Amino acid sequence: MRFAKSQTGALALLLGTTLAVGISGPALASASRTAGHPPATCPAGTLDGTGLRAAIADLPTTEATSAQVRLTTPAGCWTGANGVGDLRTGSPVPPDARFRIGSVTKVFTATVVLQLAAERRVDLDAPVRRYLPGLLTADYDRLTVRQLLNHTSGLPSPKQPDDIEWAIDHRYDHWTQERIVREALRNEPVFTPPGSKQQYTNMGYIVAGMLIEKVTGHPYAREMQDRIFGPLGLRDTSVPGNDPTIRGPHAHGYQTVSRNGQTELVDVTNWNQSITPAAGDIISTLVDLDRFGAALFGGRLLPAAQLDEMFTVPQVDDLDGKPAVYSVGLTAFRLSENEVIWVKSGSRYGYSSAIAASRDGSFRAAFSITSTDAKGDEQTGVSGAIIGAALALR
């Protein structure tokens, strides 16, 4: 789901809805937990996919070369794909194609930190320095683990050139977590004190990934495998580390670039994702994301107290003075007075994706679009059409 950089305004404009304000877990109705294991394929005729099929019918276009969609409702499920998987050969999107999920990674990271909290190995209200002494500067002595996860840390990001050509030229660069944090902390805090404002950022989750490794004594990728991928049978989901490729069947991702007065598409499928560890680096599929969402919202990955953290938005404002919308790992969107959809979108060059679900998990959506400007300010028309068609079937 391609939002503007704030990841809030575009969906609200598309749906003509009001952003969720002051939402907390206990205040929400419908806390039931459905724990079904979604099927790999949707039986024909279980859900009318006419609207979804129309949403992706015209691909490829100048803004997207392909799309995959999966929707589950109490009435059934629908999955489909369209477009070109490889512009060079004209081949279609492979079945069960893998893709970069971008910031949807944060939901996985938040889940593992909350598992550690349930095991009493991490205190969400403890300062980060208890677990990672010496990593952060004195500005962040009171920064808590919870504030890392709900985007109220005030941590700055490393500064890089805002230039697509520079990004493409450096797409194989290797970054360590320590280097990312070191370069980020050369900049002033976004706000002080921690916990007083909200701004969406990767940095809290990069540090959270380091915390997972410190507390468990294991690499982040191993904890993901042992705690989530393996138990749920997510065989097509992985943490790529420094491997720039997408292993297994996948659609190629492309980026629009202007060169010498002409626009061309550059294949950006291969890209080292070490710049966004634990915040945006995971590779997955629609089926695996749906299984993860069903297990998470169904209460199979977290006890009730920790799961409620994912449905609790801090009572602070963002930098523009608007009420916060981000919880631990998710984003809250109010569709009506009594209905909230919980969303996480993500983008890496060449790929835009999202998951969304109702609080009880009975409505779940996941999609991936190979957007030709996935990191741009505006969402694609195809993502808006998918969102509208999906919500019409909820």
Active site residues: 103
Say how far apart CA 142 and CA 153 lie, in whole Å. Answer: 10
Contacts of 177 (CB under 8 A, 6+ apart): 206, 209, 210, 277
Q: CB 296: neighbour CB atoms within 10 A?
A: 28
The half-sphere exposure of 117 on its side-chain side, counting CA atoms within 13 A, is 25
- Residue 318 pairs with which residues in a beta bridge? 198
The residue length of the chain stands at 394
Among candidates 391, 367, 365, which has minimal Cα distance to 380?
Answer: 367
Among candidates 81, 102, 386, which has minimal Cα distance to 249?
Answer: 81
Q: CB 263: neighbour CB atoms within 10 A?
A: 10
Instruction: Name the residue type at position 141.
Output: D
Contacts of 164 (CB under 8 A, 6+ apart): 255, 257
Please tell me what DSSP assigns to residue 130: G
Contacts of 353 (CB under 8 A, 6+ apart): 1, 99, 100, 101, 102, 104, 289, 345, 346, 347, 366, 367, 368, 369
